[in-house]
Chains A and B, each alone.
Chain A
Amino acid sequence: MTSVVTTSAPAACWACRAALGGSPLLCAACGKVQPAAGIDYFQVFGSVVGFERRLTIDTAALEREFHRLSRRLHPDRFARATAQEQEWSLAATALLNDAYRTLRELVQRTEYLLKLEGFEIGEEFAGKNKTAKRQPPADLLEEVFELNMQLEEMRMNRKMGESDPALHSELTAVSLRFESELAKLDNNLVEKGAAWDAGAAAGDSAGRATAAKDMAAQLDRRRYLRNLVRDVNEALSTDKES
């Protein structure tokens, strides 16, 4: 099996020289904290993800490993260690928390993996690559736009002290439909994530690339839907208060 992780972190403990087997943040042999520089989130949880950048993750195991490492890396345990080790334990704890919060959520870990693999997605790349056009399908845009118009109408009505029950129930239906579409989208992400993992395990870089492209498109679509669901629900809740 080819591992897709390119390790830039040291492979051996700085203190006892034992090979770092589990997490690169902690030596299993002597218990010393290790420098956190150059370690990515998947490496932090190497033993949980099988030392690969993979998307199908046993979140219960992830949580257990998080608690185990949290205890072992806690700055209190290094109160009497050298200043250097105290500093490392702080850095390791911060990295551990970020890694856990990112990897435990499907959308976050998918975005993180795609960024790590060099796919330009999300706000960080906003506007940096304006030649790469990623316009969503026209029908999605039309729908998002139309719904925004209806939302605006509902807000205007509210301002005038009126309420349009037909519009209200229409938007309630829309909100339900979009929530279920979001759920479908997330299922799809799980599936594509599994395809990515399979491609990675088989050393199939074309398969991985296809899965990555699909996931990036799903995540784009998800952003439009998420905004809309948020706005619709917000408008509905203030409409109800009338």
Chain B
Amino acid sequence: MAYSDKVIDHYNNPRNVGQMDKSSDEVGTGLVGAPECGDVMRLQIRVNPETQVIEEAKFKTFGCGSAIASSSLATEWVKGKTVAEALEIKNTDIVKELALPPVKIHCSVLAEDAIRAAIGDWKKKNNVAETAEVAVAAH
């Protein structure tokens, strides 16, 4: 399959690969899988407790090029955003940015799921209510 230049760039040169301390209260970890293909992705965020700004993001993906590019892009996008802003990121934004073909849409869904799971984990650790998420889900 022909990958777009942006996918190839992220694939060859992934941003923010790595991991952070799972047990830290400031770190939220999302581990998700795509049942369509069996690929797995872990995305982590470190949130400033005062400002709720995501200051650092890391990922590790075992999957196709599109999944790697999607998660690489996702870490770039969430950095500098507040938690509430990061929840506004849609897989369709990723599809557009990376010019993913229809059969690769689920790879971007995986990245969106990973962001949500990481934020959900952080919220649970810090007893933050899920209201922001409800508002987003109603879009």
Report if A and B associate in a common complex.
yes
Once the chains bind, are B37 and A220 in contact (CB under 8 Å)? no
Is there contact, CB below 8 Å, between A126 and B103?
yes
Interface bits B28-42 vs A (CB < 8 Å: 1, else 0): 000111111111101
Give A148 to B62 CA distance when docked, in angstroms.
7
Least Cβ–Cβ distance between A15 and chain B, in angstroms: 42
Is the pair A136, B31 in contact by a Cβ cutoff of 8 Å? no
Kindly provide the distance from the CB of A153 to the nearest chain B CB, expressed in whole angstroms: 13
CB pair A220 B39 closer than 8 Å: no
Contact A127 B105 (CB under 8 A): yes
Are A126 and B91 in contact (CB-based, < 8 A)?
Answer: no
- Count of chain A residues near B, Cβ 8 A: 28
Interface size on B (CB < 8 Å)?
22
CB under 8 Å from chain B, chain A span 112-156: 121-123, 125-128, 130, 133-136, 138, 140-142, 144-145, 148-149, 152
A127 touches B31 (CB 8 A): no
Q: How far is the CA of A223 from the CA of B91 in the complex (A)?
A: 23
Instruction: Identify B38's interface contact among A133, A134, A227, CB under 8 A.
Output: A227
By a CB distance below 8 angstroms, the chain A residues around B42 are: 145
Prevailing SS type, chain A contact patch: helix
A contact residues around B102 at 8 Å (CB) = 127
A142/B31 in contact, CB under 8 A: yes
Residues of B within 8 A of A126 (CB): 34, 36-37, 103, 105-106
Cβ of A224 under 8 Å from chain B: yes
Min CB–CB distance A133 → chain B (angstroms): 8
By CB atoms of chain A within 10 A, which of B31, B35, B40 has the most? B35
Q: Please indicate the chain B residues that have their CB under 8 angstroms from the CB of A138 in the complex.
A: 31
Q: CB-CB < 8 A to A225: which residues of B?
A: 38
The complex places the Cα of A103 from the Cα of B91 at a distance, in Å, of 36
A125 engages B33 (CB within 8 Å): no
Q: A122–B36 contact, CB under 8 A?
A: yes
Q: Which B residues, 82 to 118, have Cβ-Cβ distances below 8 Å to chain A? A: 91, 102-103, 105-106, 108-109, 112-113
Pair B37/A227 contact, Cβ less than 8 Å: yes
Please measure, in the bound complex, the distance between the C-alpha atom of A38 and the C-alpha atom of B86, giving whole angstroms.
47
| Cβ–Cβ contact A127 & B35, under 8 A | no
- Determine how close the nearest CB of chain A comes to the CB of B124; give it in whole angstroms: 13
Q: Which residues of A contact B103 (CB under 8 A)?
A: 123, 126
Could you tell me if B31 and A125 are in contact, using CB atoms closer than 8 angstroms?
Answer: no
The chain A residue sitting closest to B112, CB to CB, is A130
Question: Given that A123-B103, A127-B105, A127-B109 are known contacts, is A135 also in contact with B37, CB under 8 Å in the complex?
Answer: no
- Which one of B34, B40, B108 lies within 8 Å of A148 (CB-CB)? B40
Expressed in whole angstroms, the Cα–Cα distance for A192 and B33 within the complex equals: 24
Q: Are A130 and B91 also in contact (CB < 8 A) when A142-B31, A145-B31, A148-B62 are?
A: yes
Additional pairs, 4, CB under 8 Å, beyond known A123-B37, A130-B91, A224-B33 = A125-B36, A127-B36, A145-B31, A225-B38
Interface residue ranges, A against B (CB under 8 Å): 121-123, 125-128, 130, 133-136, 138, 140-142, 144-145, 148-149, 152, 220, 223-228
